[in-house]
A and B are shown apart, each in its own frame.
Chain A
């Protein structure tokens, strides 16, 4: 402290001398003024270097007791003590899975988008919001929540920087990933291990895996001649369609015995945009329009039904246009990450292959899933 005060005095006396000289607006000052700037800069640089030195000196962090090494879904090895008791989770679906595993009280911080999920318990949504993966997180808020770990997606937005920053302040980060049903099961398994609730995780995995494998097995036996062409899509405000091609939902269409026409045409794109002419050329037998809520779906329908090609489409003529809710904003939306994905998959199966899956009782499975795992 004394060090800096001394410096400030130097500045003042220095400038006071200038002031006397400058009283008649004499220019020597300009040279000295530059020195002042350099002096200020020098001080800033000194502070920076001191900070750097201190942080470098402090790198060896406080040793943790009984720490284990786990591998997260990005392939990184993380050292932390298990099970964790305080966790910040930065995606709504990992919050949802953690809650179905019965550990919602261990979630101490969440991201902005979790607030809009109706499948995350209220108690979790009352936790402090620390930011989100796109605009960034408040590192100090996270630190003040004293988490044992932060759980989050990786590979987009500011995730790389967030991981780097969190690790630099000694907070372990567990990166999660999901691109298909099996990833979901692996994610549930990993979270079960992290929270020390392996048994419950296994039972949930069993519940999902059995039903999923039956559907896939059944669908695999359907002959090609009985597989309809399907377009799973959103209608954008500009009138174009965003199709689900090489994406999780897009691939589910194939798993349940449909031919995903967008995937067949653009095998390398996740969400290709198509215009009405392409739609007419593809002329799928089944069109499934997805949306986050009923209002959104209705306005999508209004928009597409106004178009000239609509009534010429095979799916329209044969009344095989369906709407499906996705995401987590609305009750009844099942096509999303998390255990609900099974219900979404079953519903799609019934739409695409009524002959083979018509007798699937989605409501019973849904009731079982929700009463067993979503009751917190």
Chain B
């Protein structure tokens, strides 16, 4: 088993590379494959001064590359946080939105869209701040005598989500129809007009948080055994859990704030990984979730941007793929992924 798992591990870890290259060649603007490679790897050489090549470079470096990187980063953020939270909550059915993040981001974005001028970056800033605020609220509502048990965290998450959603409905009610549509579309999640700004806004935080989670992947295993056992095994459960909650919140908030809400990635990918690798060991699940999550969101976004002449919301695509697949996983169950 270890041998077989090892090969799968290497294969899956390297999977983003070919998908990355493939994605660079996909798009509604036709660029010959050879040109893509030429531009990509000889990009620094002075190119023949043709305007066509200039457009090719623009398409690759200004449209495709930032979007591909954002998809990879987003896939990492959503699935790694999903895998981590599933361990922390000892529940394979939670994802990064359980702590009220999506409702928080939605409310922040709606506030900015409804009441503030239409500046680039303002909606993102509000979405990020409010999703972090939602998490803080969830955590402090859940805290009782200095402890936030997983059950009370889940309940607090539900309460905060309900509160924020109600506030969102309130804003929708007082908003003009034009802005209302903006809010609705923001909630659907899309990377249609994302560029380098979005990559630079969310990338560093996501990578930083991913490194922290990666270093704590063994601790995640121990935390998933439950509070008392983890304590008995020498873990400061309150502190470690808070570190993981904050880290995952940073990761997801910074992505959601630039992309809108994209569902199912954090739920489906870690499951798929546990099934493929035949182990719940986070030392394997975390890195592979990162690579498969990146690949999943990247492929979904490839479909979103190249299936039609216009844009499909990528959140809808991940749901269409994710929800039935999740149902299949639940029914299959075997595979060593999880049991009740």
Contact = CB atoms under 8 A, between A and B. Distances in A.
Direct chain A–B contact by Cβ atoms under 8 Å: yes
Interface of A: 1, 3-4, 8, 11-12, 15, 18-19, 22-25, 30, 33-34, 36-38, 40-41, 43-45, 47-48, 50-55, 58, 61-62, 112, 128-132, 134-141, 143-144, 154-162, 164-165, 168-170, 242, 270-271, 273
Nearest to A43: B17
Contacts of A53: 44
Contacts of A141: 28-29, 309-310
Interface size class of B (residues with CB under 8 A): 35 or more
Nearest to A272: B174
B59 A169 contact: yes
B166 interface: no
Contacts of A45: 207
B310 A131 contact: yes
B239 interface: no
Given A130-B310, A270-B176, A144 B30 contact: yes
Contact of A136 (B197, B199, B311): B311
Given A139-B193, A156-B118, A157-B182, A54 B30 contact: no
B266 interface: no
B310 A137 contact: yes
Given A48-B69, A112-B310, A140 B197 contact: no
Contacts of B3: 19, 23
B59 A143 contact: yes
A51 B10 contact: no
DSSP class of A's interface residues: helix, strand, loop or mixed? helix
Interface stretch (B142-150, B152-160, B283-291, B329-337): B283-291
Q: Can you list the 5 inter-chain pairs with the closest CB atoms, starting with the nearest?
A: A136-B192, A140-B29, A131-B310, A161-B193, A134-B185
B313 interface: yes
B246 interface: no
Interface in B40-91: 41, 43-44, 51, 54-55, 57-59, 61-66, 69, 72
A130 B63 contact: no
B6 A135 contact: no
Interface of B: 2-3, 6-7, 9-10, 13-14, 16-17, 20, 27-30, 37, 41, 43-44, 51, 54-55, 57-59, 61-66, 69, 72, 113, 118-120, 173-174, 176-179, 181-182, 184-185, 188, 190, 192-197, 199, 203, 207, 210-211, 214-215, 218, 283, 287, 290-291, 305-306, 308-311, 313
9 contacts: A37-B13, A54-B44, A132-B310, A140-B28, A156-B179, A160-B118, A164-B120, A168-B62, A170-B58
A44 B69 contact: yes
A37 B290 contact: yes
B195 A164 contact: yes
A19 B6 contact: yes
Given A3-B41, A30-B283, A41-B207, A140 B59 contact: yes
Contact of A169 (B13, B63, B69, B176): B63
A62 B55 CA distance: 10
A328 B16 CA distance: 47
Contacts of A170: 58
Contacts of B291: 40
B54 to A, nearest CB: 6
Contact of A140 (B27, B173, B214): B27
A180 to B, nearest CB: 16
